[in-house]
Amino acid sequence: MKFNEEKIYGLIFSLPFFIIFIIFIIYPLVIEICYAFFEKEIGGKLYFVGLKNFYETINSVDFQRAVINTALYVGVGVNTKMLLSLLIANFLNIRSRFQRFLRVLFILPWAMATVPALINWRWIFDLDFGLANLLLKYMGYSNVNWLGNYNTAIALIILFHIWKWTPLWTLILLSGLQGIPVNIIEAAKIDGASGLRIFYHITWPLIKRLYILLTVLSTIWVLGQFEVVWVLTRGGPAQSTHVIATLAYRELFELWNAGKAASILVLVLPITIILILFLIHQLER
């Protein structure tokens, strides 16, 4: 009996997590995929409608816009954030006396609760009394309806993302940079290499893998971003700033169309799963 103890307790100890995974990850995913093929009648009966939901979703302007917005969010937001993080992390790694600055001041946006920060963002860009328009007025310009225009609204959504989450990725990249042995860099310095060349020939090759993996990770999470868009614009003006998650939410909770809501998420699932499997493969080798 004794020799089996490890196996038995191993299974018992990981069982709760296993059950949770099946009930709360696999089962919902199955339900979601099934629902995408059904439509709900007013009476509450489900009807199988084949690919109709997908067809309607793909052809709807709102969905196409949401895909474009999500792509913008990832393409511009995530990449700007990661580049900025890399720059700042490098700066702090070289000038280590400013690291205290990072740990005290710079992590504040990240440490704040998200929704209060978003409410503040909305107040800053308030049409009549916000800080942004106040500053514009001081400089002699007229008011801008920041959250009422598509272009400025989507820019502010992305800007908030950069503001809030740059510190997190900076810290991760910084801990990656600190893993590089100091003597390599010292040796290069003695040989007279400039800062840029040190970065290009030594730091970047060593940090590249981490940087790419972090970018993929951030991309996956941003695909499911919800509260930034929902609190700032609720998808407005005229449903133009929706991303995938907010559009699905609206479809279910404002239009009560569960099938279509599910189809929106199911359409983005393949690319998400591919990215996730890529990361798992990379991390578990």
Bridge partners for 40 per DSSP = 46
Least distance to other proteins from the beta carbon of 187, Å?
22
Stretch that binds other proteins, among 57-65, 186-194, 197-205, 263-271 (CB under 8 A): 263-271
Q: Which residue's entry shows tokens 């005229």?
A: 238
For other proteins, the binding residues in 145-164 under the rule CB under 8 A are 163
> Is residue 37 near other proteins by the rule CB under 8 A?
no
- CA angle 6-10-16, nearest 5°? 155
Cβ-Cβ contacts under 8 Å for 281 (sequence gap 6 or more): none
The structure tokens 């916000």 sit at 130
Residue 136 in the binding site for other proteins (CB under 8 A): no
Binding string to other proteins for residues 48 to 87, with x set by CB under 8 A, is what?
----------------------------------------
29 binds other proteins (CB under 8 A): yes
Crossing angle for the helix pair 114-124 and 150-177, nearest 10 degrees? 140
d(CA 140, CA 160): 25
Scored b (16 or more CB within 10 A) or e, 213-241 reads ebbbbbbbebbebeebbbbbbbbeeebbb
Residues 6+ apart with CB under 8 A from 178: 93
For other proteins, the binding residue among 100, 103, 197, 201 (CB under 8 A) is 103
Residue 252 in the binding site for other proteins (CB under 8 A): yes
Site for other proteins in 178-237 (CB under 8 A): 179, 209-210, 213-214, 217, 220-221, 223-227, 230-231, 234
Output phi, psi for 128, to 5 deg.
-95, -40
* Binding piece for other proteins, criterion CB under 8 A, among 51-59, 74-82, 125-133, 150-158: 125-133
Q: Is residue 268 a contact residue for other proteins (CB under 8 A)?
A: yes
Which range in 19-27, 59-67, 75-83, 148-156 contacts other proteins by CB under 8 A?
19-27
- Is 200 or 278 the residue whose CB approaches other proteins more closely? 278
3 binds other proteins (CB under 8 A): no
Q: For other proteins, which residue of 109, 148, 236, 237 counts as binding (CB under 8 A)? A: 109
The distance of closest approach from Cβ of residue 205 to other proteins in the complex, given in angstroms and rounded to an integer, is 13
For other proteins, which residue of 253, 254, 256, 274 counts as binding (CB under 8 A)?
A: 253
- Residues present in the chain in total: 285
Least distance from other proteins to the Cβ atom of residue 105, Å: 6
Q: How far apart are the first and last CA of the chain?
A: 34
Give the pair of three-digit tokens for residue 57: 């979703």
Least separation in angstroms between residue 51's CB and other proteins is: 18
Element (H, E) at 258: helix 258-283
Q: Is 21 in the site for other proteins (CB under 8 A)?
A: yes
Nearest partner of 268 among 66, 129, 115, judged by Cα? 66
| Closer by beta carbon to other proteins, 198 or else 248 | 248
Taking CB under 8 A as the rule, does residue 41 contact other proteins? no
